[in-house]
Amino acid sequence: MNKFTTTLLSSFLNKHGEDTVNTILSGFVCPQNPDIEKFIKNKSIIFNKQKISSTHLVFRNNASNPIFAGYFTLANKCTNVPIDNISKTLKKVILRFGIEDRQGESIQIALPLIAQFGRNFAYNREESITGDELMLMTIDKIRQAQEILGGNLVFLECEDNVKLTKFYENNEFRIYNEILSNEIEQDTGKRKKYVQMIRRLK
């Protein structure tokens, strides 16, 4: 028996209703990244209804009471990949699906985006799920979609945080760009910096 079950938020809403789902989502805790917690509680249902993204809830199977272990949200998004920041091999792969600009400086490509990703810290890892386990489930879902649509690349955007980028690098993602958000950090008064990371699925 699999330890985990993945359920589309849309299907979960249809089965249990919005009030029950909101109660379950309210139990999600992520002190390391408040934005992950705010999204699942305040935006995930709205984004789902508007078809902006697709959120997948992950439960740890438990005979008496399944545990809401984590979630990931997928979307489609265009990104510009600077050619100087990637290997020649990766450039060849990206050019199969993207368009190089006239200056030959970057490639514009539409890819699956891991828009949100987080485990529920309301439980310990033994009760809940590890980041690596959650990533395996996320990549598996993207592979399923690409079996239908084609493609073998995925990307994400995350805060420029050494611990965070190291986790993604350990899961085969590579940094290809840096961007600034519109959000102003209170302690520095500057716009928050994010890194964009890409992975080739073999």
Question: Taking the domains of the chain in order of start, what are their residue ranges?
Answer: 4-200
Angstrom distance (rounded) from CA 48 to CA 52: 6
| Residue 114 binned pLDDT confidence (cut-offs 50, 70, 90) | very high
**What percent of the chain stands above pLDDT 70?**
98
Indicate whether this model's pTM tops 0.95: no
Taking the domain 4-200, which CATH number applies? 3.40.630.30
pLDDT of residue 1: 52
Counting other chains too, the contacts that 61-65 makes at CB distance below 8 Å and 24 or more residues apart are 61/1, 61/2, 61/3, 61/4, 61/5
Q: How confident is the model over 137-192, as pLDDT tens digits?
A: 999 999 999 999 999 999 999 999 999 999 999 999 999 999 988 777 777 777 88
Write down the H helix ranges in 17-130. 18-25, 34-38, 44-49, 88-95
Mean pLDDT of 66-90: 95
Token pair of 172, please?
């085969």
The separation between the first and the last C-alpha atoms of the chain, rounded to the nearest angstrom, is 27
Q: How confident is the model over 21-61, as pLDDT tens digits?
A: 999 999 999 998 999 999 999 999 999 999 999 999 999 98
| Residue 63 binned pLDDT confidence (cut-offs 50, 70, 90) | low
